[in-house]
Amino acid sequence: MQLKIKPSKLQSFILVIVLIFFSGNIINANPGLSEEALETRSQKIYKGIRCLVCQNQSIEDSSAGLAKQLKVIIKELLNQGYTDQEIRDYLVERYGNWILLKPPFNLSTSALWVLPFIILFFALIFGTIYIYNKSKNQKETSNNQLKKEEEKELSKILGDFR
């Protein structure tokens, strides 16, 4: 009985969670251009832009001259009303996709973005088949019983913890 009640509680919890999440998103849709907001927005962009001179650092982390200058430019553009995406496009136009720490999704990066999930998918399929086979054999094999006995004895000796 108890078990049956729990999921419904859980479901209502989930519903609340989903509602909170979405309501948050709707409110979020009107950005202000206060000093604070500008700072957070620009820092978010900095973190995604690769420093060209210093390799493998974002311009946020770098104190190189060019990185500093790019930061100034990004702030300027933000003040001119550029959107985050427009700013990234502005930089990509000049320096190529290399400058983005998050590679965009296009033909040449499709493998990069899709493969992890394909690998995961096949791994899970493979695992399911493997586990299924292991359990199917369990029912069929007849000399299994003897082995089980053996194993029980063995695990006793080994001090197996169950």
Partner 1 sequence: MKKNLLFIIPILIFTLVSIFLAIGLFLKPKEIPSALIGKRIPTFELPKISKELNGLSEKDLISGKPVLVNIFASWCGPCRIEHPLFMELAKNQEITILAINHKDNPNNAIRWLNMYGNPYKKIGSDLNGRVSIDFGVYGVPETFVIDGNGCIQYKHISVLTKEILNKEILPRLNGKKHVKCN
Partner 2 sequence: MTAEIGQFCMILALLVALFQVIIPQIGAFKKDYNLILFGKYAAIVQLILILFAFLCLTHLYVTSDFSVLNVWQNSHSQKPLLYKISGVWGNHEGSLLLWVLILAIFGAAVAAFGKSLPPSLVGRVISIQAAIGFGFLILLIFLSNPFARISPTPIDGNGLNPLLQDPGLAFHPPFLYLGYVGFSIAFSFAIAALIEGKVDAAWARWVRPWTLAAWSFLTIGISLGSWWAYYELGWGGWWFWDPVENASFMPWLIGTALLHSAIVVEKRDTLKSWTILLAILTFSFSLLGTFIVRSGILNSVHSFASDPGRGVFILGFLILTIGGSLALYTWRAPSLKGGGLFSPISREASLVINNLLLMSATATVLLGTLYPLILDAISGEKVSVGPPYYLATFIPIMTPLVIVMGIGPMLAWKRADLSGVLTRLWLCIVVTVFAALITMFFTYRGPILAVLGMILSVWLITGALADFIEKIKLFKGSINDTYKRFVNYPRSAIGGTVAHAGVGVLIFGITLSSSFEVEKIQSVKTGDNVKVGDYIFKFKGTENVKGPNYNAVRGNFDVYLGEDLILNMQPENRSFKNPEMVTTEAAIYPRKLGDLYAVLGEKNPDNSFSARLYYKPMINCLWIGCLMMSLGGFISLTDRKYRIGAPRKKIIEKDKPQGAV
Read off the tokens for 66: 């060019």
Instruction: Establish if 53 lies at the interface with partner 1 (CB under 8 A).
Output: yes
Amino acid at 150: E
Helix, strand, coil percent values for the chain (each to nearest 5): 75, 0, 25
Q: Are 77 and 49 in contact (CB under 8 A)?
A: no
The residue within the footprint of partner 1, chosen from 66, 118, 120, 124 (CB under 8 A), is 66
Angstrom distance (rounded) from CA 22 to CA 36: 24
The residue within the footprint of partner 1, chosen from 4, 6, 9, 94 (CB under 8 A), is 94
Instruction: Catalog residues that contact partner 2 under the rule CB under 8 A.
Output: 3, 6, 10, 13, 16-17, 20-21, 24-25, 27-28, 43, 47-48, 50, 54-58, 60-61, 63, 96-103, 108-109, 111-113, 115-117, 119-120, 123-124, 126-127, 130-132, 134-135, 137-138, 141, 144, 147, 150-151, 154-155, 157-162
